[in-house]
Amino acid sequence: MRTRLLALVLMALAHASAADSLEGRWKLLAAEDVRDNGEVVRHPWGEHPVGSIVVQDGWLYLQIMSGDTPSFAPGKPLADQMKAMLTSSYIAYAGPVNIDETAGSVSFKVEAAWRPDYVGTDQHRIFHFENGKLIFGTAPNSIRAGSDRLTRRLTLQRLP
């Protein structure tokens, strides 16, 4: 009986530790820019973003795009409109990552990105777990929108 109880406790601890680990595959549920008081100011990839984060074997891969169907103006070159839409409705990058689970932070060097000027940059993000979800984003108040200082907040769900 004691051996079985010990085994159950060890399994529960292993499960809790894995549940609170950034390692794994995550599906995007929401992307928001928020004020200090938690007020959502904007949705950078629209109301229905699609994306994921994968953290595996020392690498971080992120991809997000708008899930909203764009509308294009008639009479204007479609290719030009699509190029403009792409730079504002899509983001992707990957690189080797260092994770500090205790501090809830990651740092990584971007080796591949949707924008050439992002390649080679050092990036830092913060994260925590809330009700079984991953909250991942920028440092507080690191995004500028006019006179506002905002925090980007991604809410993600672990995938099997």
CATH number at residue 100: 2.40.128
- Given the structure tokens 């690498």, which residue do they identify? 59
List pLDDT tens digits, range 109-134. 999 999 999 999 999 999 999 999 99
Is the pLDDT reported for residue 9 higher than 70? no
Higher pLDDT, 66 or 8: 66
Residue 69, in any domain of the structure: yes
Q: How far apart are the C-alpha atoms of 56 and 152, rounded to whole Å?
A: 23
Position 126 scores a pLDDT of 97
| Cα 25 versus chain centre, distance | 11
Q: Would you state the pLDDT for residue 6?
A: 38
Q: pLDDT tens digits, residue range 70-112?
A: 888 888 888 888 887 877 789 999 999 999 999 999 999 999 9
In a domain, 12, yes or no: no
Residue 155 lies in a domain: yes
Cβ neighbour number for residue 6 with a 10 Å cutoff: 10
Residue 7 lies in a domain: no
Task: Look at residue 80 and tell me if it is in a domain.
Answer: yes
- Look at residue 65 and tell me if it is in a domain: yes
Domain coverage including residue 39: 23-159
In a domain, 2, yes or no: no
- Mean pLDDT to the nearest integer, 142-151: 91
Looking at the structure of the chain, the number of domains it has is 1
| DSSP symbol at 90 | E
| 15-19, 32-36, 42-46, 140-144, range with the lowest pLDDT | 15-19
Tell me, yes or no, whether 78 lies in a domain: yes
pLDDT score of 38:
92
Segment 29-66, tens digit of pLDDT: 999 999 999 999 999 999 999 999 999 999 999 999 99
Sorting pLDDT into bands at 50, 70 and 90, what band is 19? low
pLDDT of 5 higher than 50: no
More confident residue, 4 or 25: 25
Q: Calculate the CA 92 to chain-centre distance.
A: 10
